[in-house]
Amino acid sequence: MTVAVYIFVMALVTYLIRMIPFTFFRKKIKSRFFRSFLYYIPYAVLSAMTIPAIFYSTGSIVTAVAGTAAAAILAYFGLPLIVVALSAAAAAFAAGFFC
């Protein structure tokens, strides 16, 4: 019974989060500032969740920095995600041997 209540509350909260913006914002948002703000929210939240996890994922800050630097450099040059991810892991692994 308790699990059913938890699932119901979770479904209700999820529904409300998706429904409330539709009820309050009937017209198209015309403010460039507000539209720009809403556009960048997913990137900011993803960064806020990912960056700390990167630096706490390994036992050493040096290996985390090496992997992050490799990923940033390869991503800057537009390489595919799988190449960036595997290269970052390899750089962190290799840095572990030297530190």
**Where do the structural domains in the chain lie, given as residue ranges?**
29-98
What is this structure's pTM?
A: 0.61
Q: Which two tokens stand for residue 26?
A: 């009937």
Give CA–CA dist 96/99, Å, rounded: 5
**Confidence band (pLDDT; 50, 70, 90) for 92?**
very high
pLDDT of residue 57: 85
Residue 67, C-beta contacts closer than 8 angstroms, at least 6 positions apart: 54, 58, 88, 89, 91, 92, 95
CB 69 within 8 A of CB 94: no
Half-sphere exposure of 46 (CA within 13 A, CB side): 5
pLDDT of residue 58: 85
The alpha carbon of residue 24 and the mean position of all alpha carbons in its chain are separated, in whole angstroms, by 27
